[in-house]
Amino acid sequence: LWAHKALSAGRPLPFGVEVVNRFTVAAPAEEEWVLIDTPPLQTDLVEAAVDAADLVLLVTTTGPIDLERMLETIRQINKPSSVLLTQTRYGTRSLRHAEEFLAENGLAHCRETIPYKEAMRLAPDEGRFPSASGYGLIAKELSDAFNA
CATH of the domain at 54: 3.40.50.300
Quote the domain boundaries for residue 36.
2-147
Q: How many domains does the chain have?
A: 1
Residue 71: the pLDDT is 95
What's residue 135's pLDDT? Answer: 83
Long-range contacts of 26-33 (CB under 8 A, 24+ apart): 26/51, 26/52, 33/143
Confirm if 40 and 69 have CB atoms less than 8 A apart.
no
Compute the distance between CA of residue 51 and CA of residue 26 in angstroms, rounded to an integer: 8
How does pLDDT run along the chain (148 residues), one tens digit per residue? 888 888 888 888 888 888 888 888 887 677 677 778 887 778 888 888 888 888 899 999 999 999 999 999 899 888 999 999 999 999 999 999 999 999 999 999 999 999 998 877 777 777 777 667 888 888 889 888 888 7
Distance CA 24, CA 26 (A): 6
Nearest-angstrom CA–CA distance, 103 and 99: 6
